[in-house]
Amino acid sequence: MRRAIAEAVRVLRAGGLVAFPTETVYGLGADARRPAAVARIFAAKGRPADHPLIVHVADQAEARRWARAWPEPAHRLAEAFWPGPLTLIVDKAQDVPDEVTGGQPTVGLRVPDHPLALELLRAFGGGVAAPSANRFGSVSPTTAAHVALELGDSVDLILDGGPCRVGVESSIVDLSRATRRAVAKGADADADGTDRSSERAPRLLRPGGLPRERIEAVLGAPLSTGPGRTRAPGTLPSHYAPRARVLAVSAEALDEQVERVASAGEGPVVVLGPRAVPGAAHLPLPADPEGAARALYSALREVDARRFAVAVVPLPEERGLGAAVADRLRRASAPRPGPDGT
Ligand code: TXA
Ligand code: MG
C-alpha cells in the first residue's frame, strides 16, 4: 500500500479529516460511522448540520450495507455506472448515523471512479462521508491546491491525485421509498384524483457528471426532475458561486450582454467561453461540454483571483454534460443571500 494511503487510513480511523480526489471534484472525508468525525466536516466547511452527506464506498456490496433495501433500479444503475459520477439516494439502514443523513430516512451512496479514492476506500474498508472539499456555498475544488487554499489547516491530510477528470459533481438520482412504492403501484392518480406520476419516477435531484440521457437509457424510463420531497442543499439557488457576479446568458445574446455590462461601470468584465468578445477580457473555456465541465470551476476561481467584477458566460446546449454546466452556471448567477443569511 502506498504510504500516503496508509497515512490517510490512519487519520480516518482516528476520527480525522482527509481530502481526497475523485473523478468529479475533491471530497472532504471522514469515517461515516463516527458522528464526532462527521461533525468536523460541517465545522470545516461552515455548512449547516442538517445537510446530508454522500457516503463513498469501494463497491456495490459495501453500498448495500448502508441501505435498508437495495431496489432493482439501484442494482441496475450501480452495475452500469459504478465506479462513476452517480450518487444513488436510497432508504438508509437503521444504523446509519443521523449526522450523515441530516436526520433524513435516506442515504446517498457512491463509488467514485478515481484510482486513489478507490485505493483509499478499499484500504479503509468502510464508508467515507464526504461533501465537496470547499467552504459552504463556494465553488467545488478540482485540484489539491484548491483544497489547500480554501480549507488549509482544518484538513488533517490532502491526497493529491491531480486535476479531476470530470470537473462537476456527481449526478444524484433519488430511488428512495416514496418514489419506489409509487412506481410499483403503477397508479398515476391518488385517491383524491391528483396526478402524482411525476413524483413517482426516479428523480434527478442534481444533474452532474453522468448525463441524464445515459441514466434514462439504463432505466428504460424518463427521470423526473426537481427537488421533490427530498431536500438536497446542493440544489440551493445560489450554490457554486465565486465572489464575482456571474451572468449566464444565451450564446446568441453574448455580444449584446457584454456591451451592456461593460458600459454599466461595475468594474472589469471577463467572458468565460470558447470565444472572446470585444470590450471584455477573455478566459477560454472549451466549446465541447466535457471540456467545459472539466475547466469550469478552475475558471471561476481564476475570475476571482484576477479580480474581475463580472463574468459573462454563454450557456451551453443542455445535452450530455452541458446540462450540468448550465445548471452550475445558473446557480452561480442566482441572487446571493446577504451576510445575514437573507
Ligand atoms: O461528485 C460528488 O458528488 C462530490 C464528490 C466528493 O463525491 N460530492 C459532493 O458532495 O458534491 P456535496 O455534499 O457537495 O453534495 C452532495 C449533495 C447535496 O446536495 C446533498 O443535499 C445531496 O447530495 N444528498 C446527500 N445525501 C442526500 C439524501 N439522503 N437525500 C437527498 N440529497 C442528498
Ligand atoms: Mg458541494
- Per-residue pLDDT of 173-201, as tens digits, reads 999 976 655 444 444 444 554 444 444 68
Instruction: Tell whether ligand 1 has an atom less than 6 A from the beta carbon of residue 176.
Output: no
Residue 73: per-residue pLDDT: 96
Instruction: Tell whether ligand 1 has an atom less than 6 A from the beta carbon of residue 24.
Output: yes
Q: Hey, which residues does 224 pair with through a beta bridge?
A: 203
Instruction: Tell whether ligand 1 has an atom less than 6 A from the beta carbon of residue 25.
Output: yes
- CA-CA-CA-CA torsion sign (37, 129, 289, 237): negative
Q: How far is the CA of 302 from the centre of ligand 1 (A)?
A: 25
Q: How far is the CA of 46 from the centre of ligand 1 (A)?
A: 15
Instruction: Tell whether ligand 1 has an atom less than 6 A from the beta carbon of residue 233.
Output: yes
Instruction: Tell whether ligand 1 has an atom less than 6 A from the beta carbon of residue 99.
Output: no
Least distant ligand from the CA of 206: 1
Residue 50: per-residue pLDDT: 87
Residue 2 CB neighbour total at 10 angstroms: 12
CB 67 within 8 A of CB 93: yes
Residue 241: per-residue pLDDT: 81
Instruction: Tell whether ligand 1 has an atom less than 6 A from the beta carbon of residue 89.
Output: yes
Contacts 24+ apart (CB under 8 A), 3-12: 4/157, 4/159, 5/116, 5/119, 5/120, 5/123, 5/159, 6/123, 7/157, 8/120, 8/123, 8/124, 8/157, 8/159, 9/120, 9/123, 9/124, 11/156, 11/157, 12/37, 12/124, 12/128
132 phi and psi, to 5 degrees? Answer: -60, 145
CB 52 within 8 A of CB 108: yes
pLDDT < 50 positions in the chain: 182-190, 193-199, 340-342
Beta-strand relationship, 86-91 and 27-31: unpaired
Least distant ligand from the CA of 230: 1
Least distant ligand from the CA of 130: 1
Residue 181: per-residue pLDDT: 52
Instruction: Tell whether ligand 1 has an atom less than 6 A from the beta carbon of residue 132.
Output: yes
Q: How far is the CA of 272 from the centre of ligand 1 (A)?
A: 26
Residue 138: per-residue pLDDT: 87
